[in-house]
Amino acid sequence: MTDHGSDSLLTAEKGVPNTQNACKAQLRRLLGWLGDQGELKSPTQLRHEGDGIYAVRARCGLRAYGWFCKDKDGKDLFIVGHVVLKKQQKMNKGDFERTDKERKAYEESIK
């Protein structure tokens, strides 16, 4: 997870009502599963948003936007660049641009 991804996860989680703490845990569980397995069980939980950017979707509206890459040993990784709390299905342009900017910064940092 990039630094911005960590910060935006904490900010987005603050928007989730305390009655839905399970949702926060669900998103973290989905990200852990994706990191361990490289895929999720349900196609509704992982959606390709275009240009190599994906959304991991929890039921309450938390979305973690990121991309796949390989580590130095060739293992697949999912890097979270941005997290938001939203109700609509489609990714808005600002979230896409923010995630793409994070991806470019990340790729530049590992060169």
Crossing angle between the packed helical segments 93-109 and 3-14, to the nearest 10 degrees = 150
- What integer is the mean pLDDT of 6-22? 74
3-109, which class in CATH? alpha beta
- pTM value is 0.81
Residue 64 CA, distance from chain mean position: 2
Task: Give the domain ranges of the chain.
Answer: 3-109
Whether pLDDT at 95 is above 70: yes
Strand pairing report for 46-50 and 53-57: antiparallel
Calpha distance 89→107 (Å, rounded): 28
Whether pLDDT at 15 is above 90: no
Read out DSSP for 57-78? Answer: E-TTSEEEEEEEEE-TTS-EEE
